[in-house]
Chain A
């Protein structure tokens, strides 16, 4: 029972982390390796607005998401636009920005128990003999809502379809009147905002740590790689697989091995099916 509940919570955490990256990378084909940096920066922004300026919590959440979305948009125009199409440069530039953000924050001294975000709900409930924080249950809710949102967004809204169009065939998208630069900038902005949402949802389970930014990037990439980057269903399934595998290892063995499970899963999936469990469109184009 413990395994079931905590596995579910863990899967939800992974799914929430992965959604933002999946939106920018899977949907519009931009590898935003600065995701981890934005994730933590958003958490600190929210923390600053809430505890230092004393704004209401909901307002500071919305403001920090808006701020990071704006930052993502600017980041696209300053950095990505200039190296667009050169995947290697895209990866290196965004990775560099992400590390610069994280290490700058570390140097600035944002370390300690002092830095934490409040949960949405206090208290805990008992389910089948296991006590669970209400907050962790909310994470599951958020994850489900986000996955459904992403699927609906990328299949039924014009902007979501434009994102996918740019990812699949940029020139055709252009010829159909989609401004590919604007769309891509928007997708980076959306991805960053979702990253902040993920941070605000997940980080109340502990304190804000710089290293969690690296973890977020790694786990988001792992989920994306296992599930297939452009598939919403893949994100869901991959986070369930990885989440339960990690929790099982943590319950029956050592927590240190959680990382190993993740990497093992990536390698096995890639060796068997290189485009991920549900990846289709990019199978030939980019990977093999």
Chain B
């Protein structure tokens, strides 16, 4: 919006300035101002499944769980992106985790509480080892190779008939009730969300962001950036592998679809829509995109086309993302001020 003869000025709200600088919360209003953005999403995540249960929406319960799973992948993507590594193949992490959990449960009959941790750590380790040789590449070069990895796993499974080949591994142990599944994934989501946000704010997180912004400056400071990148990949892969392991137990079957393009594109689109670098944006984006894509399910592959277009429009037209916009509105107000005429 443009107004002739005026420009927009943005100022911090008074309450923001007080909460920021004085560091002492003196009224309920200020405490609420600080707590609301943190408590509200947690409360929403805990209450939504109950609401869905009461209203009998079994289908949307499943969609909710899927959204939580995708948002783990999206947060992992965001974490990697904050080190400057763009992954176009989040399906790799998801798929490796899913297959490890599936294989352990199917062949060795391990119980769930063993397979999920083993799949999370083992999957993260395998993915890190796979990606370690290409760690020296930056930005899009890294993306190109990660794009190929899930397809490569698809072909291997197809070719070697490993883990059931195209049929997949059916009959995995499922969670005892849907409540265990729901709150397990919500817990994981919240842990990831707040842990990642905390990590990024520490000194270690500063190193991560420094690698993205100017890696040679970080190298010159005597930090081994490759080792830091490996750690970042491990953390991202652990989140993704957990999501995969969870999903294979949730639906009770693991098949080649875990390496599908959906799983790679959806997280990227979600982060782009929600706004990168904050993790909350990634979650917000997923909870918008996943239900949207469920509405479009009747249109088959057109929904992939639609959310790729959403992604493109967001990258080009709304580069900051929804979350940053909301954050700005929450902390700042804007007003029109007159521009002095040029004399």
The interface of chain A, by Cβ under 8 A from chain B, is: 31, 78-79, 82-83, 87-93, 95-97, 99-101, 103-104, 106-107, 214, 218, 221-222, 225, 254, 256-257, 259-260, 262-263, 266-267, 270-271, 274, 286-288
Q: Is the CB of B141 within 8 A of A218?
A: no
Nearest-neighbour CB distance to chain B for A165, whole angstroms, equals 21
Separation of A274 and B134 alpha carbons in the complex (Å): 8
B156: chain A residues within 8 A (beta carbon) = 256, 260
Q: How far is the CB of A188 from chain B (nearest CB, A)?
A: 15
Q: Is the CB of A107 within 8 A of B301?
A: yes
Residues of B within 8 A of A270 (CB): 133-134, 136-137, 145
Let me know if B155 is at the binding interface, CB within 8 A: yes
5 further interface pairs, Cβ-Cβ under 8 Å (given A107-B302, A259-B152): A99-B261, A107-B301, A218-B148, A260-B159, A270-B133
Q: Is the CB of B159 within 8 A of A257?
A: yes
Provide the bound-state CA to CA distance between A89 and B314, in Å: 10
- Looking at the complex, which one of B141, B265, B311 makes contact with A287 (CB distance below 8 Å)? B141
Contact between B140 and A91 (Cβ–Cβ < 8 Å)? yes
Given known A97-B308, A218-B147, A256-B155, contact A286–B139 (CB-CB < 8 A): yes
- Bound complex: CA A218 to CA B315 (Å): 23
CA distance A90 to B319 in the complex (A): 12
What are the residues of chain B within 8 A of A79 when measuring CB–CB? 312, 316
Bound CA span A4–B272, Å: 47
The contact sample of 28 A-B pairs, CB cut-off 8 A, is A83-B316, A87-B139, A89-B316, A91-B86, A91-B88, A92-B86, A92-B315, A93-B315, A95-B88, A95-B308, A96-B315, A100-B304, A100-B305, A100-B309, A100-B312, A101-B305, A103-B301, A103-B302, A218-B151, A263-B152, A270-B134, A270-B136, A270-B145, A271-B134, A286-B138, A287-B136, A287-B141, A288-B136
Nearest residue in B to A266 (C-beta to C-beta)? B145
User: Does the CB pair A96–B308 fall under 8 Å?
Assistant: yes
How distant is the Cα of A35 from the Cα of B134 in the complex, in angstroms?
A: 23
Closest residue of chain B to A282, judged by CB?
B141
Decide yes or no: A83 and B315 within 8 Å by CB, A99-B265, A100-B309 being known contacts. Answer: yes
* Partner pick for B315 among A89, A256, A262, CB 8 A cutoff: A89
> Which chain B residues in 89-139 approach chain A with CB under 8 Å?
133-134, 136-139
The 9 closest A-B pairs by CB, nearest first: A256-B159, A107-B302, A96-B312, A103-B305, A96-B308, A103-B304, A100-B308, A271-B133, A104-B305
Q: How far is the CB of A23 from chain B (nearest CB, A)?
A: 17
Contact A259 B134 (CB under 8 A): no
B residues near A (Cβ < 8 Å) are 81, 86, 88, 133-134, 136-141, 143-145, 147-149, 151-152, 155-156, 158-160, 261, 265, 268-269, 272, 299-302, 304-306, 308-309, 311-312, 315-317, 319
Contact B144 A221 (CB under 8 A): yes
Verify B308–A99 contact, CB threshold 8 A.
yes
Chain B interface helix/strand/loop/mixed: helix
Which residues does chain A contribute within 8 Å of B140, judged by CB atoms?
A: 31, 87-88, 90-91
A211's closest neighbor in chain B, by CB? B151
B315 with A99: CB separation less than 8 A:
no
The answer to whether A225 touches B141 (Cβ under 8 A) is: yes
Q: Is the CB of A106 within 8 A of B315?
A: no
* B299 and A107 within 8 A (CB): yes
Task: State which of A83, A221, A260 has its C-beta within 8 Å of the C-beta of B152.
Answer: A260
Q: CA separation between A83 and B312, bound complex, in Å?
A: 11
Contact of B316 among A82, A107, A287 (CB under 8 A): A82
User: Which residue of A96, A106, A254 is within 8 Å of B311 (Cβ)?
Assistant: A96
A232 to chain B: closest CB distance in Å?
A: 19
Given A95-B88, A103-B304, residue A221 in contact with residue B148 (CB < 8 A): yes
Tell me whether A89 and B319 are in contact (CB under 8 A): yes
B137 CB contacts on chain A under 8 angstroms: 270, 274, 287
Q: In the bound complex, what is the Cα–Cα distance between A147 and B267 (angstroms)?
A: 38
A91 in contact with B143 given A99-B265, A259-B152 (CB within 8 Å): yes
Q: Which residues of B lie under 8 Å from residue A214 when comparing CB positions?
A: 151
Across the interface, B149 reaches (CB within 8 A) one of A91, A95, A101, A263, namely: A263
Tell me which residues across on chain A come within 8 A of B144, comparing CB atoms: 221, 225
CA distance A262 to B319 in the complex (A): 35
A34 to chain B: closest residue by CB: B312
How distant is A102 from chain B, measured CB to nearest CB, in Å? 8
Complex Cα distance, B299 from A259, in Å, reads 31
Q: In the bound complex, what is the Cα–Cα distance between A132 and B149 (angstroms)?
A: 33
- Decide if B302 touches A104 in the complex (CB within 8 Å): yes
> Which residue of chain A is the closest to B269 with respect to CB atoms?
A96
Residue numbers in B under 8 Å from A260 (CB-CB)? 152, 155-156, 159
